[in-house]
Amino acid sequence: MVPKCPTCNSGLTGHQFAEVATAICGKENISELTTFFECVKQRKWARLRGFREFKGDRDDVVANVVACSGGGAVIVLKSVFELYAPDELLLLEAIGQDDIRVLKTLIDPSDWKTIHI
């Protein structure tokens, strides 16, 4: 879904990634989803980390971060419940090294994985 890093413009092999936040999609969660996306767009990483709801029998949004030597990217996907429906890329934005430094303090080191494609 994301063939290359928008910061360094290279393939993702060797980059690190981690999940930042999750939220349930639904009409009853519009206010929460709005806040979720505002946190992403405004780089309010600590507040975004507070979103930890996920239901396997519902559509969810998942914010991930990819890190490289120049910064990285925030990636928000809609994780679709329907078995044969593909996940949807909702947001892909380059972020700088300062954002990655903050995220590395908020996300446990064991939760960061290296991409091997």
Evaluate whether residue 114 is within a structural domain.
Answer: no
Evaluate whether residue 51 is within a structural domain.
Answer: yes
Q: How many domains, in total, are found in the chain?
A: 1
pLDDT tens digits, one per residue of 65-110: 999 999 999 999 999 999 899 999 999 999 999 999 999 999 999 9
pLDDT tens digits, one per residue of 17-50: 999 999 999 899 999 999 999 999 999 999 999 9
Tell me how far apart the alpha carbons of residues 73 and 12 are, in angstroms, rounded to a whole number: 11
Evaluate whether residue 115 is within a structural domain.
Answer: no
Evaluate whether residue 116 is within a structural domain.
Answer: no
pTM: 0.92
Residue 60 near residue 79 (C-beta atoms within 8 A): yes
Cα end-to-end span (Å), the chain:
13
